[in-house]
Chains A and B, each alone.
Chain A
Amino acid sequence: MPTYRPGPVSLVLAALVALFLLLPLLAVIPVSLTPSRMLAMPSGELSLRHYRALIEDPRWINSILLSIRIGVVSSAFSTVLALCFSLGVWMFQPRFTAALVGFVLLPMVVPPVVSAITLYFLLTSISGFSSFFGYDTWLGVAMAHAVMTVPFATVLILVSLSQLDRRIDLAARGLGATVWERATRIIMPNIKFGIVTAALLSFVLSWEEIGVTLFITSVNAITLPRLMWMGLRDNIDPAIAALSVILIVITVLVLVARGVVVRLRAAQ
């Protein structure tokens, strides 16, 4: 069957856009190899000193570990809450479902800066009662990240539930399965891909969250993006270039691996 393909003009324009999209990602590679202490293009010799700084400077290691901890806790929390909520919506189809789902999605659609000031208000209020949970604490950041990521987890789980055949749940119900058995033995095994994706996306979103984190941390809870922000605002530190190269390489590898897996599956 003939199909309608883009012509040469479309291809040239698309190539220009593709170049625009990739250019800043490529630009960080030469900067990361500069021997200079400042942001500059290397002239002549190359150096790995900024990569070494990432390993040797404890600030980078500490913030990476903190970001992982916050990401794991907030992702687990938001995935469990999103899973329970979505199961409730799917199994019981209660009244006002649309309004309730809309409410859950609010942190995703409200401008991030408004969510940031909202969470700042929350955590400074909590700080009055508790010193380990509130403004500028890792638990406070994890909770704020859970608020921001839970809409995304809910959307992913609801989408994978919407592709599930209701008749298998009806059969289980007709055979006398309890709500707990239906949820854990019938429904959840069938949407496990969606649940894992939701947890991974929540982790990634928390790992790179900066808009809200800036408002709710100052000196103690320095996540990796927060440390990068500090290095970008004051005196641009080329170690950020080295870190960026590493993050870009990881992203490319994950996407290529995913692409290969998807194509292999499709080929089978």
Chain B
Amino acid sequence: MRAYLSDRMGAALLMAPLLLFLVLAYAWPFLGVVKWSFTLPTPGLGQYNALLTDQLVQSVFIRTLRIAAIVTIVSVAAAYAITVVWVRGTPVQRVVAEFCILVPFWISVLTRAFGWVALLSNRGLINTWLQAVGFISEPLALVRNEFGVIVGMTHFLIPFAVFPLASSMRSLDDRVLLAARGLGSSRMRTFWSVFVPMTRSGIIGSALIVFVFSLGFFVTPAILGGGRSVMIAELIYLRIFQSPDWGLGAAISVVLVLFVGALMALLFRYVRPKQLV
């Protein structure tokens, strides 16, 4: 009995500091934000009502969903292509693929967004080169619009899409693929009717992760969108710091959390957590 009690005391003492820290520094202030959404500027459901009627807010929500959907499809497809080589390639191919995935993964989001500015802006690499060759006379608008945002976000999210795909491709039995080839199926057919269906859980997991990440994305859209293609996260920032309307910013945050929570619930229903890593 004494040992049992001291066990429980020990667990409580070890776990308490972190739990206390997060309750005070995260859970409590989050409730404060929820309170803002109901009380600022006037108590009531006014901010949520505004969410349903405000044209600007709605267009931002729709743009965010559209960009997130496009980015999800492109990143998962691109990640799939490089993951196949990372997991199934020859040793040299694997090292090269791993390098190309991990280097961008570890470089900060700001540096990567800046790299795209250097490539895509009016005086950037691509426009300078195209003009020098005489292909175009006026620089192409590649940045400060939705195109730039989609390119930058896709670049950021490909490595995150790779990891769930890689784990589902690793657990795949080689012999099934060799059997398909041995029975006379072409490379293409083996890939589309055997390989892809067997990595379905990885595809779903990686698509949901990318989609959830892109909903709350802030830095890349703010830099590559140049204030013209505002997404939800940037709208929250603008509501808090530029047109002080804390209540609306808080209400958008609450809706965003609920939406992401629902998507995560979906994720865990279809994919067991262990398959994600």
Tell me if A248 and B117 are in contact (CB < 8 A): no
Which residues of A21-55 have CB atoms within 8 Å of chain B's CB atoms? Answer: 21-25, 27-28, 30-31, 38-41
Select the stretch in A57-65, A98-106, A189-197 that faces chain B.
A98-106
**Complexed CA–CA distance, A114 and B30 (Å):** 8
Tell me if B108 and A150 are in contact (CB < 8 A): no
The one of A13, A22, A94, A215 in contact with B104, judged by C-beta atoms closer than 8 angstroms, is A22
Tell me if A14 and B110 are in contact (CB < 8 A): no
**Complexed CA–CA distance, A246 and B218 (Å):** 24
Interface pairs (15), CB distance under 8 Å: A10-B81, A24-B118, A25-B103, A28-B114, A39-B123, A81-B21, A104-B19, A109-B260, A113-B216, A113-B256, A211-B219, A244-B115, A248-B107, A252-B103, A255-B103
Select the stretch in B45-53, B55-63, B94-102 that faces chain A.
B94-102
Cβ of A237 to closest chain B Cβ, rounded Å: 10
**Complexed CA–CA distance, A154 and B124 (Å):** 42
Tell me, yes or no, whether A174 is within 8 Å of chain B by CB: no
Which residues of B106-129 have CB atoms within 8 Å of chain A's CB atoms? Answer: 106-119, 121, 123-125, 128
Tell me if B107 and A84 are in contact (CB < 8 A): no
Name the interface size band of chain A. 35 or more
Tell me, yes or no, whether B18 is within 8 Å of chain A by CB: yes
Tell me if B32 and A25 are in contact (CB < 8 A): no
The one of B125, B181, B257 in contact with A110, judged by C-beta atoms closer than 8 angstroms, is B257
The one of A7, A11, A84 in contact with B17, judged by C-beta atoms closer than 8 angstroms, is A84
Tell me if A18 and B123 are in contact (CB < 8 A): no
**Complexed CA–CA distance, A246 and B90 (Å):** 32
Instruction: List the A side residues contacting B26 at CB < 8 Å.
Output: 106-107, 115, 118-119, 122, 147
Instruction: List the B side residues contacting A214 at CB < 8 Å.
Output: 218, 237
The one of B25, B113, B240 in contact with A122, judged by C-beta atoms closer than 8 angstroms, is B25
Tell me, yes or no, whether B203 is within 8 Å of chain A by CB: no
Query: 7 new A-B pairs (CB below 8 Å) besides A28-B115, A110-B257?
Result: A3-B174, A6-B85, A18-B96, A24-B119, A109-B212, A150-B21, A244-B114
Tell me if B108 and A247 are in contact (CB < 8 A): yes
Name the interface size band of chain B. 35 or more
Decide yes or no: A7 and B187 within 8 Å by CB, A14-B84, A24-B119, A143-B25 being known contacts. Answer: yes
Tell me if B119 and A125 are in contact (CB < 8 A): no
Tell me if B107 and A232 are in contact (CB < 8 A): no
**Complexed CA–CA distance, A255 and B104 (Å):** 11
Tell me, yes or no, whether B93 is within 8 Å of chain A by CB: yes
**Complexed CA–CA distance, A17 and B99 (Å):** 12
The closest CB in chain B to the CB of A263 belongs to B95
Which residues of B240-277 have CB atoms within 8 Å of chain A's CB atoms? Answer: 240-241, 249-250, 253, 256-257, 260, 264
Tell me if B257 and A114 are in contact (CB < 8 A): yes
Tell me if B97 and A14 are in contact (CB < 8 A): yes
Which residues of A185-237 have CB atoms within 8 Å of chain B's CB atoms? Answer: 204, 208, 210-211, 214-215, 225, 228-229, 232-233, 236
